[in-house]
Structure 1
């Protein structure tokens, strides 16, 4: 669970940095997208390296979900009788965020791919330049798409904040001396990703990027 989560955090950081290139101009963003598709050419055919990375990400997502389901079932079997003492609101809140937040993120990921990667639901379609798809996807007339994106990214941040902290514990890094620092690090990582992912769509929706 922790390892697959770390793989996805690494992907999110790289993806966020790439998205922020839209602030440098459409040409820079398109060059970045082209560089991903021609990675390791001519040693590898066009888009091969990117496809391998995408497959690896899918494997990580599936493995992460499998780990979550397996751990939930194992926990249920370990304690078939509920606790007498009621769980704290914080613990219950985190549990709901991880379960339902994960499902929300998965559904959003499908929409995100159909919109900006494959262009199926994007006004510009698949044959358009990546920068044009992004600008069209978050056009002010499609404010509801930006709103969905905002909610989903915030959910990712909440999921990530708890997930990174849990990973620190799982990997044995957390202890009394490090807890405050690691909790702060979890919050900072999630906040950076939320702000970084929301900056481009909000800038487009409010006319900063056209």
Structure 2
């Protein structure tokens, strides 16, 4: 009988490690992006200057916005790797239990773990919308590349409450995704002792709440008029 062997990266352990590493790359970006968003509270001049600085990172060593395209490429690769690893692992888990029992005992697990897939879909849809809205300006009421601050204020104005609602839904989904994903990443990278797991759970929850708060404070500040 022929024995099928998998390369290390295609093994279950390798795929979990790939999910963990790609997830860490994405989390670092989310953290940096959140801190940048908070500059909106420093006023229009400061926020627009920050947006312009992002376009000039690496100059004069790198021409124009080359760094931004390098960053975007890395992020796209990280997202694709994350989705691919998650999909393969999900298909393998389903194949391992092909028979569906009529009365199967529910698997114990957190709400975040049970909703990882749907949360991932919501986040992906939001990322696509976010790019078309605040990156390309296609769906933004102003869509003025020279006025990032104005784009943000116009985007979350009170007459566009549905944008804030969708943003909130996506960020909450991201929070659940982060809480479970960061804990799973720690386990995949080798931390499986009881005390370490408890600390990892607490850290993952605290980080997810902090990140969500950092992202949600901007649209709600615009919505209630604190940023205008």
Shared fold by TM > 0.5?
yes
* Contact 1:140–1:205 under 8 Å retained in 2: yes
Tell me the equivalent position of 1:86: 105
Tell me the equivalent position of 2:73: 55
Residues 169-196 of structure 1, C-alpha deviation per residue, up to 9 Å, x if partnerless?
1111131121211100000110111000
For residues 151 and 74 of structure 1, the distance between their equivalents in structure 2, rounded to whole angstroms, comes to 30
* Contact 1:40–1:49 under 8 Å retained in 2: yes
* Contact 2:112–2:179 under 8 Å retained in 1: no
Tell me the equivalent position of 2:87: 69
In the TM superposition, residue 89 of structure 1 has moved relative to its aligned partner by: 5.3
Residues 12-64 of structure 1, C-alpha deviation per residue, up to 9 Å, x if partnerless?
00000000000111111111111111001111111110110011101100110
The two structures have a TM-score, normalised by structure 1, of 0.94
Deviates more, 1:166-175 or 1:14-23: 166-175
The reply to whether residue 38 of structure 1 matches residue 56 of structure 2 is yes
1:15 to 29, 33, 41: 33
Which has more radius of gyration? 2
For residues 184 and 69 of structure 2, the distance between their equivalents in structure 1, rounded to whole angstroms, comes to 30
In the TM superposition, residue 104 of structure 1 has moved relative to its aligned partner by: 0.6
The reply to whether residue 6 of structure 1 matches residue 41 of structure 2 is no
| Superposition map of 1:93-172 within 5 A | 93-172=111-190
Residues 124-157 of structure 1, C-alpha deviation per residue, up to 9 Å, x if partnerless?
1143411111111111111111111011100100
* Contact 1:120–1:126 under 8 Å retained in 2: no
Identify unmatched segments of 5+ residues in structure 2.
1-18
* Contact 1:118–1:126 under 8 Å retained in 2: no
Tell me the equivalent position of 2:12: none
Find runs of 4+ consecutive structure 1 residues off by over 3 angstroms: 81-85, 88-91, 93-96
SS at match of 2:76: helix
Indicate how the Cα distance of structure 1 residues 135 and 105 shifts in structure 2: closer, same or farther if over 3 A, else same. same
* Contact 1:116–1:122 under 8 Å retained in 2: yes
The two structures have a TM-score, normalised by structure 2, of 0.87
* Contact 2:113–2:180 under 8 Å retained in 1: no
